[in-house]
Amino acid sequence: MLNVYPLKPIVTSNPQLPLLYDNHPESIDFISACLTPSEMSGLLDKGAVFDSIIFLNGEGQELLPRVSPRDSTEDEAFFPRTQVLSMNYVDENSISILHSTLLDLRMRGFYCEGG
């Protein structure tokens, strides 16, 4: 059985990012939080479904085929929107960049799916 989990995770092993990101008001509004690649894998094993996923600095990219299989015959609208993003430092500006990226992923999904 799944407990509460973020619908729009940031996949990273950086221990500093969750300290700033997870309790930020916009992160809470987006239902977003940081997950390590192993936490993400565990949630996928339990059947978790995500809306959008940011893979930070390439971490967790091995999970991409599990969240968005390219050989699937299903409509892409059923898969989470994904983004690989590189970020060398963690500060308030990087949190804003992550929130903007999540918003952009949401808007692309809205317009691609016919609004």
- What is the band of 108 on the pLDDT scale with cuts at 50, 70, 90? low
Can you tell me the distance from the alpha carbon of 34 to that of 102, in angstroms, rounded to the nearest whole number?
13
CB 72 within 8 A of CB 65: no
pLDDT at 93: 94
- Confirm if 95 and 21 have CB atoms less than 8 A apart: yes
Instruction: For 42-89, write each residue's pLDDT tens digit.
Output: 999 999 999 999 999 999 999 998 987 766 555 566 788 899 999 988
Could you give the CA distance from residue 46 to residue 30 in angstroms, rounded to a whole number?
22
pTM, entire model: 0.85
Tell me the pLDDT tens digit for each residue of 14-34: 999 999 999 999 999 999 999
* Interatomic CA distance for residues 99 and 115, integer angstroms: 21
